């Protein structure tokens, strides 16, 4: 393009200012991408939740258990296809920093309900046969370098005295859903039940129900809660996605927080870049007037200013996204499983670049319109 030389020459007029402005874009884009990835990590559970699954917890809260006897009663409700129960284990592997979710699972029904988790049949059979057996997600196994046959010690202080539970890694599961969770550690509920104090025995942390038909979710959920109303352990039944969303909300309104921070970042960027472009245009008033005098149209002057701010946004945006591509896996592994896996998707990258260009265009628009409306006679008189 024959005007590119003019655009780039003007762009590089003040190199320090250009570098700082591009740097602002790059940092803002990195922050945006990181926040979007964190938000995605929190909401992924909701997005990937089975539409045909319900979660039943104690109405008081997730920390309270439910009697195991509820299993048969729930199973008897029409529309319920499978029922499985889980219990939170809460052990520590080597160091408290090495957090990962550990569940005592019901080996008879777990696979029928949680169908997205794939364990090879031979590994599952070994797990079922081995009372001290365990299954780990592929991501978790990779994180700690575990392989089948490894002995995994988990220290647990939640149930009576502090003691170390030993497990044999019999299987590794993969998640069928792209971006799905592969960070869990499963042990047998029976082994768990035999080794916990009497107060915890024959209880479930929560039930997960697979329905015949997702359309029955509301009816079945109401039926379960009605069934156990006025009992010592009333229930709260909700769809798996609602459960996941409420679980995420326990950490605070992450989405609101992220949106607020993101908006502030972009608004600040808009002001910074808009100011930079305004100064840059003001410095060139006479030159713009000369361009208009020799025949450049108002629109072409607007185009030059917009093109400059868009090029800044594009370069800064690409740098910021590149930084995010490099840094997010490092940050993700440094978090040691404290957050769900941080996945940088193409849609987040595209959205980031789109936002950068939008801010670029918006920041160049006002100075550009000012340049467009510049009266040559007045501008030249000021020289």
Partner 1 sequence: MIRVDGRSDSASLIKVRGLNKTYSRGGEQIQVLQGLNLDVDKGDFVAFMGPSGSGKTTLLNLLGGLDVPSAGSITVDGDEITHMSASKLTHWRARHVGFIFQMYNLIPVLTAFQNVELPLLLTKLSKSERRKHVETALGVVGLTDRMNHYPRQLSGGQEQRVTIARAIVSDPTFLLCDEPTGDLDRKSADEIMALIDELVGKYNKTILMVTHDSLVAARAHMTLHLDKGVLVEGGKSPQQVLAGGAA
Residues that bind partner 1 (CB under 8 A): 2-3, 5-6, 9-10, 12-13, 286-287, 289-298, 376-377, 380-381, 383
Per DSSP, the three-state class of 335 is: coil
| Residue number, 63 or 294, with CB nearest to partner 1 | 294
Minimum CB distance to partner 1, residue 9 (Å): 4
Q: Please, what is the end-to-end C-alpha distance for the chain in angstroms?
A: 30
Question: What's the CA gap between 266 and 325, in Å, rounded?
Answer: 20
Instruction: Give SS3 for 243.
Output: helix
Taking the least distance from each CB to partner 1, the nearer of 144 and 296 is 296
Tallying the residues shown for the chain, one arrives at 383
Contact 197, 159 (CB under 8 A): yes
Q: How far is the CB of 98 from partner 1 (least distance, A)?
A: 57
Least distance CB 350 / partner 1 (angstroms): 33
CB of 316 to partner 1, least distance (A): 21
* In contact, 84 and 54? CB cutoff 8 Å: no
Beta bridge partners of 185: 102, 136
Q: How many helices (H) and strands (E) does the chain have?
A: 14, 12
The bridge status of strand 53-58 relative to strand 117-118 is unpaired
Beta-strand runs (E) in 144-271: 151-156, 163-175, 185-188, 203-204, 206-211, 235-239
Question: Of the two residues 130 and 298, which places its CB atom closer to partner 1 in the complex?
Answer: 298
- Closer CB to partner 1, 7 or 258, in the complex: 7
Q: How far is the CB of 369 from partner 1 (least distance, A)?
A: 15
Report which of 192, 154, 191, 185 is spatially closest to residue 170, judged by C-alpha positions.
185
Toward partner 1, which CB reaches closer, 5 or 129? Answer: 5
Q: Which residue lies nearer to partner 1 by CB, 10 or 184?
A: 10
Closest CA to 187 of 214, 225, 156, 216: 156
φ, ψ at 137 (rounded to 5°): -70, 155
Output the smallest distance, CB 251 to partner 1, in A: 52
User: Which residue, 85 or 292, has its beta carbon nearer to partner 1?
Assistant: 292
- How far apart are CB 23 and partner 1 at their closest, in Å? 21
């Amino acid at each position: 393009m024959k005007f590119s030389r003019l655009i780039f020459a003007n762009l590089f007029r003040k190199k320090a200012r250009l570098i700082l402005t591009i740097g602002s874009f790059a940092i803002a884009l990195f922050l945006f991408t990181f926040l979007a990835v964190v938000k995605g990590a929190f909401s992924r559970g909701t997005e990937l939740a089975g539409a045909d699954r319900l979660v039943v917890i104690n109405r008081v809260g997730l920390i309270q258990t439910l009697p195991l006897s509820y299993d048969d009663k729930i199973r008897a409700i029409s529309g319920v296809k499978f029922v499985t129960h889980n219990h939170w284990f809460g052990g520590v592997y080597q160091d408290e920093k090495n957090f990962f979710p550990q569940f005592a699972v019901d080996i008879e029904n777990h696979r029928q309900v949680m169908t997205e988790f794939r364990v090879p049949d031979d590994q599952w059979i070994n797990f079922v046969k081995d009372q001290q057996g365990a299954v780990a997600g592929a991501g978790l196994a990779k994180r700690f370098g575990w392989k089948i046959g490894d002995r995994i010690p988990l220290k647990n202080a939640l149930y009576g005295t502090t003691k170390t539970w030993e497990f044999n890694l019999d299987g590794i599961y993969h998640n069928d859903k792209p971006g799905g969770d592969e960070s869990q550690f499963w042990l047998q509920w029976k082994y768990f039940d035999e080794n916990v104090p009497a107060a915890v025995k024959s209880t479930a942390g929560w039930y997960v129900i697979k329905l015949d038909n997702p359309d029955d979710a509301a009816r079945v959920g109401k039926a379960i809660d009605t069934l156990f109303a006025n009992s010592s352990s009333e229930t709260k039944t909700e769809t798996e996605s609602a459960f996941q969303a409420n679980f995420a909300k326990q950490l605070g309104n992450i989405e609101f927080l992220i949106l607020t921070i993101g908006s502030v970042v972009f608004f600040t960027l808009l002001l910074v870049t808009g100011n930079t472009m305004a100064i840059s245009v003001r410095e060139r008033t006479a030159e713009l007037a000369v361009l208009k005098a020799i025949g450049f149209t108002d629109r072409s002057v607007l185009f030059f200013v917009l093109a400059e701010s868009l090029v800044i946004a594009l370069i800064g945006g690409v740098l910021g996204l590149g930084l995010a591509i490099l840094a997010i896996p490092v940050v993700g592994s440094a978090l040691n499983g404290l957050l769900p896996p941080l996945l940088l998707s193409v849609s987040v990258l595209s959205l980031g670049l789109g936002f950068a260009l939008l801010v670029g265009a918006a920041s160049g628009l006002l100075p550009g319109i000012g340049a467009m409306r510049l009266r040559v006679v007045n501008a030249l008189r000021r020289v």
